[in-house]
């Protein structure tokens, strides 16, 4: 399963809750990057160069990290991937990884939310946490990048008939209920 959504849509929170309820491991590419950088693995050292420069980590490095993570034994009973794939090239690479393991995606869950609501939510979070990088200009840029990058990814999964969209606005429990209902409906198809 994949979870896709704009910054501030609650992907991380919902991924944790889905993981708990369904008994599958949640895999965040952000966590993979941080673990590899902290562990000073060859991939982490490579990724850090780009991260320190404020650039996107290239697909080749990201793909290798995901391939390595999906080869671990804790994903045998399923997984929830958060933050990957972000490009159609990454979709193709993930397809290849899954085919090699004789697996396929059951559902791609997209959390949707109005940009203005997300900007307000992220500005509030920045104020609470003191994150200086979360100002309105940066937030709007991140949302624009999300829309640019993921439209083609979402379209690919919609064509395959495995995309399920869920409104990500509301209380955490309310969104979790909508997400779990959507997953059950998608699995029944």
What does the DSSP 8-state code read for residue 167?
E
**Which strands, in side-by-side order, build the sheet including 108-112?**
25-28, 79-82, 2-4, 108-112, 163-167
The question of whether 17 is a catalytic residue gets the answer: no
Average pLDDT in the 169-189 region? 89
How confident is the model at residue 91, as a pLDDT? 95
Please determine, for residue 54, whether its predicted confidence score (pLDDT) is greater than 70: no
Is 178 annotated among the ligand-binding residues?
no
pLDDT at 143 over 80: yes
Whether residue 83 is annotated as binding a ligand: the answer is yes
pLDDT at 133 > cutoff 70: no
Annotation: CATH topology of 2-188: Rossmann fold (3.40.50)
pLDDT of residue 44: 86
With a cut of 90, say whether residue 46 has pLDDT above it. Answer: no
Q: Is 56 annotated as a binding residue?
A: yes
- Whether 69 is catalytic is no
Give CA–CA dist 100/88, Å, rounded: 19
User: Is 187 a known active-site residue?
Assistant: no
Decide: helix, strand or coil at residue 25. strand
Q: Residue 25 pLDDT > 80, yes or no?
A: yes
Structure confidence at residue 65 as a pLDDT band (50, 70, 90):
confident
21 is an active site residue: no
Pairing of strands 108-112, 25-28: unpaired
Please give the pLDDT value at position 174: 96
Query: Which of 17, 69, 86, 121 is flagged as catalytic?
Result: 86
Instruction: Report, as an integer, the average pLDDT of 48-60.
Output: 76
Please give the DSSP secondary-structure letter assigned to residue 171: -
């Amino acid at each position: 399963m994949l979870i896709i959504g704009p910054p501030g849509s609650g992907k991380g929170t919902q991924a944790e809750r889905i993981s708990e309820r369904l008994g599958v491991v949640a895999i965040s590419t952000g966590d993979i990057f941080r673990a590899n950088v902290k562990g000073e693995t060859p991939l982490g050292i490579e990724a850090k160069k780009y991260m320190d420069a404020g650039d996107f980590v290239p697909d080749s490095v990201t793909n290798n990290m995901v391939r390595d993570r999906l080869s671990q034994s804790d994903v045998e009973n399923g997984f929830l991937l958060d933050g990957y794939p972000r490009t159609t090239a990454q979709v193709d690479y993930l397809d290849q990884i899954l085919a090699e393991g004789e697996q396929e995606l059951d559902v791609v869950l997209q959390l949707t939310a109005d940009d203005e609501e997300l900007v307000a939510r992220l500005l509030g979070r920045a104020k609470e946490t003191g994150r200086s990088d979360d100002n309105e200009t940066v937030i709007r840029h991140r949302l624009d990048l999300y829309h640019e990058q993921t439209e083609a990814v979402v379209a690919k999964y919609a064509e395959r008939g495995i995309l399920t969209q869920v409104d990500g606005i509301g209380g955490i429990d309310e969104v979790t209920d909508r997400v779990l209902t959507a997953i059950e409906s998608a699995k029944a198809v």
